[in-house]
Amino acid sequence: MRKPITKYNLWIRLEILKRMQPRADYSIDWFAGQPCLKRKNDSISVSPRGTKRDLWQFMGAMIDALDIECRLKQKIYQEATNRA
């Protein structure tokens, strides 16, 4: 059986996203018990509304994508500096 996702689990992933993209300034918005990820000064949601698990998985995918992007940028930079 899967462990339930808590607000604390969401908060941890939110903090990771904030550190990976400090300019985005994400927050979790709650409406009728359904969370969604938003940029603080934006009225448009970054994620769809759903369960805590849905948001937790969505934020995990964002973290993975940002990690891949960061590694790719580092690899491209290293290759460029090796050629110079």
Residue 38: pLDDT band (50, 70, 90) is very high
Residue 74, helix vs strand vs coil: helix
Total domains, the chain: 1
**What does the pLDDT read at residue 1?**
81
| Residue 28, domain extent | 7-83
Question: Average pLDDT for residues 28-39, to the nearest whole number?
Answer: 93
Residue 84: pLDDT band (50, 70, 90) is low
**What does the pLDDT read at residue 82?**
87
- The rounded distance, in Å, linking the Cα atoms of 48 and 5 is 17
pTM: 0.86
* 43 has a pLDDT exceeding 90: no
Residue 18 lies in a domain: yes
Residue 56 lies in a domain: yes
Residue 2 lies in a domain: no
Per 3-state DSSP, what percentage of the chain is helix, strand, and coil (rounded to 5)? 55, 15, 30
